[in-house]
Each structure stands twice: as C-alpha cells, then as structure tokens.
Structure 1
Amino acid sequence: MKSISLYKKITSENKEYVLSKQFLRSSTSIGANVEETIGAQSERDFLSKISISYKEARETHYWLRLLKDSNYISYEDATEMLSLCEEILRIIGKIQITIKSRNS
C-alpha cells in the first residue's frame, strides 16, 4: 500500500510524526470504509459508508498537500499520491452520484 510506504519514508527520513500520522490514519480509513460498504445492510447504509470513504479521501488530499507544502515529501511523491487520491475521489464521487440518483 503506497500510503503506508510513504508514511514509513516520512517518519524514517524526516522524523516527522504528527502530520504523517494524520495522513496514515485518513488514507487507511478510505479502504477500511470501502471494505465496510461490501457488508452494507441496505442501500442507505452503503451510501453512508461510501460517503465516509469520500470524506476520508478529501482529508487525505489535505494532508498530502500540507506535507508537500511543508517539504516533508518530495514533489514527485506528492504528485503521484495526489493523483492517486484524486482518482479515488472521482471514483467514490461517481458511486455516490449513482446511488443518490437511484434513490431520487
């Protein structure tokens, strides 16, 4: 998982533990909440859990920008991770739109 590798890199190379921990928490929460959607008991439950994943992805995007702007991660790492995060946001966002449109 790229987020865990990046966290390890930040903590070992830069000895930064506060921002990186927030990044690790939010980034791993995306997948955990997506996993929970698989066991959703209803479409409403599914939408709730996928919406939490979206919020965690937004938060992850924030922490990545902050880590980049604070020079804790390289431009290359930031570009790659921000791109991946934006792709996740687009995918989860489209899932939310689809579910909401089915309920309208």
Structure 2
Amino acid sequence: MIAPAPWRRRFAVPASHPSLPGHFPGRPVVPGVVLLDAVFAALAEEGHGTATQLLRAKFTAPVAPEEVVEVEFRGTAPGRVAFQCHCRGALALSGEAALGSPGA
C-alpha cells in the first residue's frame, strides 16, 4: 500500500449530538472520542482504509458544537496516516493511525 497524497476534509459536530448534554453544562465541548470518530469516518469515506489502531493522539484546544473542524491527512508510511485538526485557526487535535485495507 502506497502512502496517499495529503488531503483535507471538513466536519462539524451538531449541537444535537447525544454526547453533549452534561459535557460541560454552560459551555459544551465536543468529547475527544467524538472528534476521533469524525476523523476516522472522514478517512474511511475517502476510501483510504479503516483506522485499525490509534498510534498517538494529542488534544490541544477545545472544540465547541457546530464549529467547523478542518482535518488534514498525510500518509506517513504504507498503512499509516497522520492527521491534524484545526478549529478557529488553532490546532485542536493531532495524531496518527494505522490503516486496514479499504472496506476492511
């Protein structure tokens, strides 16, 4: 498997997402696992494979519901992809994942 060329996707977590009530009252923040789920869904939708293992992740800024997150993917090696998520011009999440075959 050849590392794919860099590509970008955008997403936003709706305010109606079931994880948000109570996280946190008065100032909702999208949970990290929800951000990772959106990143992995975008990866699979692009046809580059399924994330089979999270190799590393670092959360550096909060993301509120409805905020647009731009994720940039970059193949780092065959079967691996790095990602960076930016929101409001700030890095919110970065990491790397191992990939399975598309459709796996």
For the criterion TM > 0.5, the same-fold answer is no
| Higher Rg | 1
Higher RCO, 1 vs 2 (CA within 8 Å, ≥6 residues apart): 2
- State the TM-score, normalizing by the size of structure 2: 0.28
Q: Give 1 or 2: higher strand fraction.
A: 2
- State the TM-score, normalizing by the size of structure 1: 0.28
